[in-house]
Amino acid sequence: MSDAAAALSLTGITKAYNHGKPNEVSVLRGVDLEVAAGEVVALVAPSGAGKSTLLHIAGLLDVADSGTVSLAGQDFSKLSDRKRTAARRQDIGFIYQFHHLLPEFTALENVALPQYANGVLAAEAQARALDLLSRVGVDGRADHRPAALSGGEQQRVAFCRALANEPRLLLADEPTGNLDPGTSDQVFEALMALVRDTGLAAVIATHNPELAARMDRIVRLDHGKLSAA
Ligand code: ADP
Nearest CA to ligand 1 atom 14: 48
Q: What integer pLDDT is reported at residue 222 of this predicted model?
A: 93
- pLDDT category at 3 given cuts 50, 70, 90 is very low
The pick from 13, 15, 17 for probing ligand 1's pocket by mutation, whose C-beta has the most ligand atoms within 8 angstroms, reads 17
pLDDT at 223 over 60: yes
Q: Is residue 70 part of a domain?
A: no
Q: What integer pLDDT is reported at residue 181 of this predicted model?
A: 87
Read off the pLDDT of residues 127-150 as tens digits, 9 standing for 90 and up.
Answer: 999 999 999 999 999 999 999 999
Q: Ligand 1: distance of its center to the CA of 124 in Å?
A: 40
Nearest CA to ligand 1 atom 18: 17
Domains: count for the chain: 1
Read off the pLDDT of residues 144-172 as tens digits, 9 standing for 90 and up.
Answer: 999 999 999 999 999 999 999 999 999 99
Distance (Å, rounded) from C-alpha 176 to C-alpha 190?
A: 11
Q: Ligand 1: distance of its center to the CA of 150 in Å?
A: 30
Nearest CA to ligand 1 atom 16: 48
Q: Ligand 1: distance of its center to the CA of 120 in Å?
A: 36
pLDDT at 2 over 70: no
pLDDT at 1 over 50: no
Q: What integer pLDDT is reported at residue 71 of this predicted model?
A: 93
Q: What integer pLDDT is reported at residue 25 of this predicted model?
A: 93
Residue type, 86: A
Q: How far is CA 178 from CA 124, 190, 194, 202, in A?
A: 32, 16, 20, 20
Q: Is residue 111 part of a domain?
A: yes
Sort strands 201-205 and 169-173 into parallel, antiparallel or unpaired: parallel
User: Chain-wide mean pLDDT for the chain?
Assistant: 93
**Closest ligand 1 atom to the C-alpha of 47?**
4
Distance (Å, rounded) from C-alpha 108 to C-alpha 111?
A: 5
Residues lining ligand 1, CB < 6 A?
17-18, 25, 27, 45, 47-53
Q: With pLDDT > 90 as the criterion, what percentage of the chain qualifies? A: 80
Q: Give the structural domain span for 189.
A: 39-62+81-216
Q: Ligand 1: distance of its center to the CA of 36 in Å?
A: 27
Q: Ligand 1: distance of its center to the CA of 222 in Å?
A: 13
Q: Ligand 1: distance of its center to the CA of 63 in Å?
A: 14
Q: Tell me the range of 46-50, 97-101, 123-127 where mean pLDDT is highest.
A: 123-127
pLDDT at 4 over 50: no
Distance (Å, rounded) from C-alpha 129 to C-alpha 125?
A: 6
Q: Is residue 131 part of a domain?
A: yes
Q: What is the CATH number of the domain that holds 193?
A: 3.40.50.300
Q: What integer pLDDT is reported at residue 172 of this predicted model?
A: 96
**DSSP 3-state of 133:** helix
Q: Is residue 177 part of a domain?
A: yes
Read off the pLDDT of residues 30-85 as tens digits, 9 standing for 90 and up.
Answer: 999 999 999 999 999 988 999 999 999 999 999 999 999 999 999 998 889 999 99
Q: What integer pLDDT is reported at residue 41 of this predicted model?
A: 97
- For the beta sheet containing 40-44, the strands, ordered from the edge strand earlier in sequence to the opposite edge, are 92-95, 169-173, 201-205, 40-44, 217-222, 225-228
Residue type, 89: R
Nearest partner of 190 among 212, 205, 175, 203, judged by Cα: 175
Nearest CA to ligand 1 atom 4: 48
Q: Is residue 47 part of a domain?
A: yes
Q: Identify whether the C-beta of residue 170 lies closer than 8 Å to the C-beta of residue 96.
A: no
Q: Is residue 32 part of a domain?
A: no
- For the beta sheet containing 8-17, the strands, ordered from the edge strand earlier in sequence to the opposite edge, are 25-35, 8-17, 66-71, 74-75
Q: What is the dihedral of CA 26, 56, 85, 104, to 10 degrees?
A: -140
Say how many Å lie between the first and final Cα of the chain, rounded: 25
Q: Is residue 27 part of a domain?
A: no
Q: Is residue 176 part of a domain?
A: yes
Q: What integer pLDDT is reported at residue 199 of this predicted model?
A: 87
Q: Identify whether the C-beta of residue 217 lies closer than 8 Å to the C-beta of residue 204.
A: no
Nearest CA to ligand 1 atom 27: 17
